[in-house]
């Protein structure tokens, strides 16, 4: 059980405090309810660009990193299609430094042409290095465009096109900032060796005076149900052939989420999984293979991806994957397999909860999903999954008409 206190400032900022006196450290986590799905289709990559811009200095603090480091702290951030998260850890005695730094950049960044130019170059280089010049770097651009026709999950957090970030103007980023990076669109979590009363006092002192901003109302088009399989073949200078298959799945809060998570574990999480044992170890059709899901807040994707062994024909590899999926649908998984993946999940949850940083991040995420208390019922949700749930969910997901296949052929 993860205990926490929750209060809301007058400007709408939700604040959660998790006390843990077993550590001398404290964590400040600020999650903004904005991700790549909230971007203008003609100006993508902005949420990720802001992950960088937020370290470019604010009105009263020219350099974010230096004072944090002087206080013994460190920080990082990440962006997904659903959210943007900033976090720092430092000695609990210095926690007010984190309040000072984070509140100032929420109040307003120091927008300047120089800062935008520097961070734009960083993001553009990241785009080129990882998604243009890297072998298989364009896979997820292609897969998302193949699987999604309408929902903004059809582009990656790095952006749909390099040009969108290259052309970003100072006015563009200002509009994006004041639309999304406001108290009413954020969740603040303070965790570690802290006390609720003091954290409330500091939250009021540093974040209370910040204008609430307008609450962002999301109105995202829903992805239509896929009615026919889709295929895409690519030829590129990559070392070996690769095969990617995706199927649409439910949203993060759907009841089917937990069964879906366990199905992907049985199929392709690690060397003891079905796909690895059959297609890598026994038949030697693939050198690597895995199955996982995107776990998105809106309807996501189940993915099977693998690199073919040298000399294996694409059609043979694809037939073998399809046979494993059909075997799952025809015979379901065993009680032993179900217990194994539930036990594995229980261990993973327990391990993650050991870190105060992870606890702070999880509290923010579940609060964003609707209620931080959801964090405390996750294990029970997995334990309640039955073999019938697995069968029903697998039949819903692995329909032929719901499948997208990307065949990536090596020209080398």
pLDDT at 207: 98
- Cα angle at 29 between 24 and 33, to 5 degrees? 170
Q: Which residues of 170-184 are buried (b: 16+ CB within 10 A; e: fewer)?
A: eebbeebbeebbbbb
Asked: is 5-208 a CATH 3.30.413.10 domain? The reply is no
Per-residue pLDDT reduced to its tens digit, 16-75 = 999 999 999 999 999 999 999 999 999 999 999 988 998 888 989 999 999 999 999 999
CB within 8 A of 159, min separation 6: which ones?
36, 44, 45, 46, 48, 127, 165
What residues contact residue 167 under an 8 Å CB cut-off, 6+ apart?
none
Question: Would you state the pLDDT for residue 115?
Answer: 86
Burial of residue 150 (number of CB atoms within 10 Å: 0-12, 13-18, 19+): exposed
pLDDT tens per residue, range 165-189: 999 999 999 999 999 999 999 999 9
Measured CA to CA, the distance from residue 50 to residue 104 in angstroms comes to: 15
* Position 112 pLDDT exceeds 90: no
- Residues contacting residue 48 through CB under 8 Å, at least 6 positions apart: 36, 79, 123, 157, 158, 159
CB 191 within 8 A of CB 3: no
What is the b/e burial string over 47-77, where b = at least 16 CB atoms within 10 angstroms of the residue's CB? bbbbbbbbbbbbeeeeebeebbeebebebeb
**CA geometry: angle 122, 128, 131, nearest 5 deg:** 120
Q: How far, in whole angstroms, is CA 359 from its chain's centroid?
A: 16
pLDDT class for 355, splitting at 50, 70, 90? Answer: very high
Alpha-carbon gap, residue 256 to 234, rounded angstroms = 33
pTM, whole model, 2 decimals?
A: 0.95
Kindly list the domain boundaries of the chain, sorted by start residue: 5-208, 230-410
d(CA 9, CA 32): 16
Mean pLDDT of 339-359: 95
Of 295, 220, 287, the C-alpha closest to 252 is 295
- pLDDT digit string, tens, across residues 184-217: 999 999 999 999 999 999 999 999 999 999 889 9
Proportion of the chain above pLDDT 90, given as a percent: 93
Q: How is domain 230-410 classified at the CATH fold level?
A: Cytochrome Bc1 Complex; Chain A, domain 1 (3.30.830)
| pLDDT confidence tier of residue 141, bands split at 50, 70 and 90 | very high
Give pLDDT tens digits for 324-333.
Answer: 999 999 999 9
Q: How many residues are given for the chain?
A: 412
């Amino acid at each position: 059980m993860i205990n926490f206190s929750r209060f809301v400032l007058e400007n709408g900022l939700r604040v959660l405090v998790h006390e843990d006196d077993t550590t001398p450290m404290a964590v400040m986590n600020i999650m903004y309810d904005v991700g790549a799905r909230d971007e203008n289709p003609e100006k993508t990559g902005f949420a990720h660009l802001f992950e960088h811009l937020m370290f470019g200095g604010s009105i009263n603090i020219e350099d974010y990193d230096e004072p944090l480091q002087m206080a013994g702290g460190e920080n990082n951030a990440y962006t997904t299609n659903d959210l943007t998260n900033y976090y720092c850890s430092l000695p609990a005695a210095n926690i007010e430094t984190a309040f000072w730094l984070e509140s100032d950049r929420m109040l307003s960044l120091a927008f300047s042409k120089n800062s935008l130019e520097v961070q734009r170059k960083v993001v553009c280089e990241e785009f080129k290095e990882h998604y243009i010049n890297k072998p298989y770097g364009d896979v997820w651009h292609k897969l998302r465009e193949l699987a999604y026709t309408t929902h903004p999950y059809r582009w990656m957090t790095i952006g749909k096109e390099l040009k969108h970030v290259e052309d970003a103007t100072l006015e563009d980023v200002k509009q994006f900032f004041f639309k999304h990076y406001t108290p009413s669109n954020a969740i603040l979590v303070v965790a570690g060796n802290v006390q609720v009363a003091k954290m409330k006092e500091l939250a009021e002192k540093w974040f209370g005076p910040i204008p609430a901003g307008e609450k962002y109302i999301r109105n995202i088009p829903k992805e239509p149900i896929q009615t026919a399989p889709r295929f895409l073949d690519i030829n590129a200078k990559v070392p070996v052939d690769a095969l990617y298959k995706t199927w649409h799945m439910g949203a993060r809060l759907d009841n089917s989420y937990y069964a879906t998570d366990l199905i992907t574990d049985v199929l392709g999480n690690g060397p003891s999984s079905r796909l690895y044992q059959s297609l890598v170890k026994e038949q030697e059709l693939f050198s690597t293979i895995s199955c996982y899901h995107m776990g998105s807040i809106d309807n996501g994707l189940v993915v099977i991806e693998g690199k073919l062994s040298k000399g294996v024909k694409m059609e043979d590899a694809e037939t073998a994957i399809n046979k494993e999926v059909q075997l799952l649908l025809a015979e379901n998984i065993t009680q032993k397999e179900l217990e194994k993946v539930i036990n594995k999940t229980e261990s993973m949850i327990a391990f993650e909860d050991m870190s105060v940083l992870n606890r702070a991040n999880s509290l923010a995420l579940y609060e964003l999903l609707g209620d931080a208390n959801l964090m405390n019922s996750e294990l029970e949700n997995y334990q309640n999954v039955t073999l019938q749930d697995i069968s029903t969910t697998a039949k819903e997901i692995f329909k032929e008409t719901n499948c997208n296949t990307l065949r990536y052929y090596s020209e080398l």
